Structure 1
């Protein structure tokens, strides 16, 4: 067995895209992630756990907003119909792209059966895998708020962390020790708020460790720890680039499924309306392969699942061989076993890269043969004999390690809104304005504040995709927040039907506590 360990860390997250309207774009985001990513990942991990010759180990962050969607009964009740509609569409296409159609039909049926067998309880399945020590589950900030941009009101950062911990404990019956910091973003002093919330470790981009003070002796290949007792791991680009990059990595190879060619764009608007969709948008029905980087979307070739399978096996073996070479080289210059940290968005595996779960499966199958040992972050801390004291550098996993993707001319206006609303929430919660008669109102105001702070909407505004939806979500939560807060400040009575309507739509974080926004005395 090669000395050293490989830690694969997945970050599973969706913004709060719950919609009362069936067939909405937001609903599509969630259900596509279910059939392409979360259900296949569970299948991969459960199969590997049952195999006697495999030792699967990964760390996975499950964001509180994603967990809320997974728990939601309204969404659960719609999922089967959503899959059935796509199966019916595929039934009309068997004369074209026969291999791809049959393969996708089999995939959808398998995921639907997987869903039915557990009655939609994916949280319970993740919990069982944690009990088996196959996974270590991290939390995330409550609504994936970009914490460095919320720091003007430290209590707003604390509320993001403590709400997340409370929600995780409610669902998993144990408090999380680790956290996936949104966008791996860190600022000086964040470790104090993490420690206060019981959070003891997180992943940073490589910049966070390489520019730490003092510079870590082992660079990215061992964890560091702050004086407040919070450990940090650094992303290793050599271990991530081959899997992450669609240009230079495996996902861009010719035989893999093309993400951007979706039947929803090919069908006429009349055909879409027949299945209850009012405008052109992706259906999650993709029948073509990448073919080549220079091939236009309309000229892509039919997806061949057998050729894709052969590519997956080859790429997985290549990845393991390269990690083995890397560990052997590192071992020569280190007095402790080297540790490779490979963090990814979980949605890369299955959604963006359809073959991603197969890739993981083959890693588990071949790891012993290549002498590679998988480890979770929690276990890595347990087996590291001494951890160097360092102060991490402010950083993110955005371009260049900076914050500019979430703070630029497209979205900077939001930061002022967050600051103003956050300051008002802190004042209300710190000045004894909370009474029994308005506790429901202040709790809902807290939910609205958290929801408007989601970094996903900032990201979308910068990316330029569905910007209308992003602005709508931000402004909706802000307007609801101010209506509720002003009612408290002005001793106004809110119509119960209005409050109940907001609570029904934004039914997240049942244990949210206004005390998390209270200033320390």
Structure 2
């Protein structure tokens, strides 16, 4: 554990994007990958390698979903990313030379900042990453004990509503296979997709209208005829011994009042407070699988639906793009105003230092220095750091360096904490997710019911297929169809048409695979590795 001997913080970053390879470019498609890689993953890698060079270990836990990791290692996408990044450099050079003097006077300094940064990224990519891919360097950091790498199911499906046990096992084993193939080690920890969990019992039926809908939008699903073990049984069977779930999934059965988990993080919990469950893992039911709950009060101090550090007036504004260069060249200035001021990197760096101090102070206020069993799980999407919050990687490095020298609060990986401090308690957890109402509302609506119906029909059709190349190709399309991204995008009204098109496309390709037609064409889009289906005939 880096830092002190009291409590610790486990930074956990969740990296996921759906399969975009040769499935669109812009505004939705491969462009999403390249933005995330250049703005978050490459800067994060640079940060971690600096920390490693200075001897820091047990720094954080990072998960790359298998469907994303495959793309991060794909030669075609790496070559496309290289071209995309090179074009960005040329665009900036042209902008700086061709812009009117008046524009140069206002935005010239920030354009030069962008140009230097883009050139560094291009050099970083060309200095080995272009050949080995973006997963290998993170694997080396894991081997060196700097980070822990999490795995997950193959295509990030919403497991609580999967009803075929053989397909659940297939998704999990295929995903862990990808992790092992790309990193050299089989993951023993996962970020459960969508923080989804289901205890033993009947699986809810998303294909039928719910028998009721709560005021927060949570559908109360009609139970299906399928009765399965809790998801922890499937994880344990696959060799997974710890996972990340949402904080309320642990807080509610521990006795915390609804939404009590979101109270201020600077309040120390009293002895016996139900929220103590958020500062230590628990065993799930009767299993040997430990659940770590996201500490939302701490995590929300950084970013939440109403603001957080990235909303500071000196940070780069995510939404404001200069028309001349096509870059984000303005600072937040005022969240209620459209009149933005040019971005000033030096002023932003000063705010990074202040916010790093503030976060470390928050941890000191939250953790009892006498309780060295405590671990705060500060969990975020990786894209927060760099993509959404431009200064995020700087802030993360500043916090980690402060904690490395801290006598009472240090950093840890989830696996490291579990090895040192196994859970002392067991909880029977409720069916839950991170989404609205902490239930199924972000994936099951009237507008998405047809998707679940099509998925169930495809799963039934898949069960009839004989072994062979066609079944392997159909498996790939079925797992793409099962991705949780498509119903989520529709339920949240985010690129809805693209999500609908992807569902219909994978349905068509699934039927094409079942018929054994044009399998090479399918591989061109979706199967560079040609991995065989892990689900045995007959389940």
Whether 1:247 aligns to 2:306 is yes
More displaced stretch, 449-458 vs 19-28: 19-28
* Partner residue of 1:502 out of 493, 505, 522: 522
367, 389, 393: which is aligned to 2:426? 389
Give the SS at the match of 1:359: helix
**Structure 1 CA distance for aligned equivalents of residues 377 and 502 of structure 2:** 34
Cα 1:55–1:515, aligned 2, differ >3 Å: closer, same or farther? closer
- 3-state secondary structure, aligned to 2:376: strand
Contact 2:321–2:329 (CA under 8 A) maintained in structure 1: yes
CA contact (8 A) 1:214 1:390 kept: no
Map Cα deviations across residues 341-363 of structure 1 (whole Å, 9 max, x no partner).
Answer: 11111111111111111111101
Report what 1:136 is aligned to.
Answer: 148
Report deviation, 1:258: 0.9
Residue-by-residue CA offset, 1:301-343 (whole Å, 9 max, x unaligned): 1111111111111101100111011112xx56x6x62110111
Q: Is 1:474 the equivalent of 2:518?
A: no
State how far apart, in whole Å, the 2-side matches of 1:175 and 1:56 are.
Answer: 18
1:62 pairs with one of 61, 64, 75:
64
Which residue is equivalent to 2:195?
184
Deviates more, 1:509-518 or 1:362-371: 509-518
Gaps of 5+ in 1: 272-282, 488-493
Backbone CA RMSD of aligned residues: 2.2
Q: Counterpart of 2:35?
A: 32
Q: State the shift of 1:196 in Å.
A: 1.4
Deviations 1:231-276 (A, max 9, x none): 101111122002222633101111111111234xx36xxx9xxxxx
* CA contact 1:145–1:455 (8 Å) conserved in 2: yes
Aligned counterpart, 1:515: 535
Distance 2:532 2:43 in 1: 32
- Tell me if 1:125 matches 2:137: yes
Q: Kindly report which structure 2 residues correspond to 1:28-427, keeping only aligned pairs within 5 A, or say none.
A: 28-52=31-55, 54-55=56-57, 57-94=59-96, 95=104, 96-120=106-130, 121-150=133-162, 152-188=163-199, 189-212=230-253, 218-226=276-284, 227-245=286-304, 247-263=306-322, 266=323, 285-296=327-338, 299-328=339-368, 337-371=373-407, 372-427=409-464
Task: Work out the CA distance in 1 between the residues paired with 2:428 and 2:80.
Answer: 47
User: Within 2, Cα distance between the matches of 1:246 and 1:214?
Assistant: 25
Q: Structure 1 301/408 Cα, relative in aligned 2: closer, same or farther at 3 Å?
A: same
> What is the TM-score normalised by the length of structure 2?
0.84
Unpaired stretches in structure 2, ≥5 consecutive residues: 97-103, 200-229, 257-273
1:199-257 alpha-carbon deviations (Å, 9 max, x no partner): 11101111211233799794211111132211101111122002222633101111111
TM-superposition CA deviations, 1:390-437 (whole Å, max 9, x none): 222221111221110111123222111112212322343xxxx32xxx
Q: 1:483-514, CA deviations, whole angstroms, 9 ceiling, x for partnerless residues? A: 322x2xxxxxx45xx21111111115533324
Determine the structure 2 residue equivalent to 1:276.
none
Q: Secondary structure at the match of 1:61?
A: strand
Residues 72-129 of structure 1 deviation map (CA, whole Å, 9 limit, x = unaligned): 1111112222112222222233314122111111111111111111232221101110
Q: Please state how far the C-alpha of 1:155 moved relative to its aligned partner.
A: 2.2
Q: Distance in 1 between matches of 2:528 and 2:306?
A: 38
> Contact 2:23 / 2:29 at 8 angstroms: preserved in 1?
no
Residue 516 of structure 1: CA displacement? 5.2
Q: What is the rounded CA distance, in whole Å, between the counterparts of 2:157 and 2:292 in structure 1?
A: 21
Count residues with an aligned counterpart.
477
Q: 1:21 to 1:137 in 2, by over 3 A?
A: same
Contact 1:245 1:251 in 2 (8 A): no
Higher helix proportion, which one?
1
1:416-468, Cα deviation, whole Å (9 max, x unpaired)? 1112212322343xxxx32xxxx111001000000011111222112223222
CA distance in 2, matches of 1:206, 1:114: 37
Q: Tell me how far 1:366 sits from its aligned partner.
A: 1.3
SS at match of 2:129: coil
Between 68-77 and 311-320, the greater mean CA deviation after superposition:
68-77
Other structure's SS at 1:295 match: coil
Query: Does structure 2 conserve the Cα–Cα contact (< 8 Å) formed by 1:99 and 1:305?
Result: no
Q: Displacement of 1:29 after TM fit?
A: 0.7
TM-score (norm 1): 0.87
Partners of 1:214 and 1:424 lie apart in 2 by 44
1 CA distance for matches of 2:471 and 2:318? 43
CA distance in 1: counterparts of 2:111 and 2:23, whole angstroms? 31
Distance verdict in 2 for CA 1:55–1:153, change over 3 Å: closer
Which residue is equivalent to 1:277?
Answer: none
How far did residue 27 of structure 1 move? 1.7
Instruction: Please give the per-residue CA displacement for 1:127-162, whole angstroms capped at 9, x wherever unaligned.
Output: 110011111100122111111122x22222222111
What is the deviation of 1:293? 1.0
